[in-house]
Chains A and B, each alone.
Chain A
């Protein structure tokens, strides 16, 4: 069943097209990953989907309602984990959650239970009475997530929930997201981190410059670029490598030399590794060989020509 969808959505900021004819559906019970480099339009897409930003064209429908997708009733079924941390620094962790739980109409014992549940869920069960001003970045992020959980939303939208946090907090969050899915929550998950999306998402949308460039399961996406095989060979004297000879091999598409490394891209199934190695070894010493199995990162790179993150950003 479709829980949310967009049809032909266009959003402009002045002459800049932030969303360019976006079409997609979110199905009940899935974790859908939204990938894209900085400025791709992920947050804008989320804002359009939740009614925070009016769109210039197209339709948004939430929980089967296209006429009034942003009704109060629908708001009650929606949870948003904002990209920026938006918790109240003056209140304790527990009071923060009580504030939101109250707005969603929870009362009395049930409210207390849900708040405790949300705190436990993000691993802050023993920090309820602490002030978030004294929390680490990762703990603030987790509280930020918990704020969107007390009302048990049907659709949870998470805008880069793991930015800038320690691996331990990240694992906790990823496990929690999977658990939420198992409990029936549908999740739209945005991230800069391929590994995260590859690990949890059942379906992935890749965005760049306001456009959706590809959509499918992780396996499907990888298949689309598996029409190629890539071999990287580290050699001792790269200038001795007969590039023309390699290029002449049947099925070879491209040969590139960078530093001490030669990469050869051939059509899938051409089984060229042996031939390539023989030719290379005739001229120079071989130090290492890598035959890459493509991952989501390669899909992204092939489609957009961009790395999802700068090298420096990785830990």
Chain B
């Protein structure tokens, strides 16, 4: 398992990718701070503070984009810039790809935890069951990595694959109704709840905090199911790409 020796370096490379840190850590921190000042003590109809709600969705929204770093690293290391050198190294290339995915997912989870810590200790927002939230963050990070991998494997142009991954992220934010309310048709209702990983993750965290653990678990299971399906799709597209 020569690949294991590369793990620390891959993770280090990710932690030094300042663009990703800026987009996935600094931007959400600034947004959270902004909301902290404008929402202050406002509460919604069920008596939960808006800030609590916003903090949860902010942390989870950015998990939709976490896979982009996996995508970039896979693209450069396996298919373009470093391709030749990597192909000549005495290790199993798909294992190296898997190690990048693992590091990228961990990277995304770490950023999620940073945002939680920031919300909790800097802004003083109580997030409720933080352990459960961490579980959900993990599921979201894995999901995003898989989506980005499938796009990298199946779309010929990398630029297009990148755009599509952004559409995945922004699309589900919009469909979840976080920007503006969605039409109340069955399709949009489904895409704003069970058909939307972001909505599922937010609902799961909130339900857990309300003490409805069976519902929280149910939402998490849907995410898990999506992960299982996408994992198979990822294997199929990956195999086709490698021929």
Contact = CB atoms under 8 A, between A and B. Distances in A.
Interface residues of B, number: 18
Contacts of A27: none
Contacts of A95: 9, 12
A52 B84 contact: yes
Interface string B60-86: 000000000000000000000110110
Contact residue range for chain A? 20 to 34
Nearest to B14: A90
A98 B10 CA distance: 12
B44 interface: no
Contacts of B6: 99, 102-103
A99 B86 CA distance: 11
Given A88-B13, A103-B91, A82 B2 contact: no
Contacts of A47: 84
Contacts of A78: 88
Contacts of B17: 90
A98 B84 contact: no
B16 interface: yes
Contacts of B12: 90-91, 95
Given A91-B13, A99-B6, A50 B88 contact: yes
Given A90-B13, A95-B12, A52 B88 contact: yes
Contacts of A86: 81-82, 84-85
B90 interface: yes
A269 B9 CA distance: 64
B30 interface: no
Interface string B1-23: 01101100100110011000000
Contacts of A82: 84-85
Contacts of B84: 47, 52, 80, 82, 86
A105 interface: yes
B87 interface: yes
Contact of B89 (A73, A91, A98, A103): A103
Nearest to B82: A86
Contacts of B2: 102-105
Contacts of A90: 12-13, 16-17
Nearest to A98: B9
A104 to B, nearest CB: 7
B97 to A, nearest CB: 14
Contacts of A80: 84-85, 88
A299 B150 CA distance: 53
Instruction: Identify the interface centre among A76, A80, A88, A100: most chain B CB within 10 Å of its CB.
Output: A88
A102 B85 contact: no
A79 to B, nearest CB: 8
A72 interface: yes
Contacts of B16: 90-91
Interface in B76-111: 81-82, 84-85, 87-91
A147 interface: yes
Contacts of B89: 75, 100, 103-104
A273 B232 CA distance: 80
A50 B9 CA distance: 26
Contact of A102 (B5, B13, B87): B5
A124 B144 CA distance: 40
A75 B90 contact: yes
Contacts of A84: 81
B118 to A, nearest CB: 24
Contacts of B13: 88, 90-91
A15 B214 CA distance: 64
Interface of B: 2-3, 5-6, 9, 12-13, 16-17, 81-82, 84-85, 87-91
Given A47-B84, A73-B90, A102-B2, 14 more contacts: A50-B88, A52-B88, A72-B90, A86-B81, A88-B13, A90-B12, A99-B6, A100-B89, A102-B5, A102-B9, A103-B5, A103-B89, A103-B90, A147-B85
22 contacts: A50-B88, A52-B87, A52-B88, A72-B90, A75-B88, A75-B89, A75-B90, A80-B84, A80-B85, A84-B81, A86-B82, A91-B9, A91-B16, A95-B9, A98-B9, A99-B5, A100-B89, A103-B89, A103-B90, A104-B2, A104-B90, A147-B85
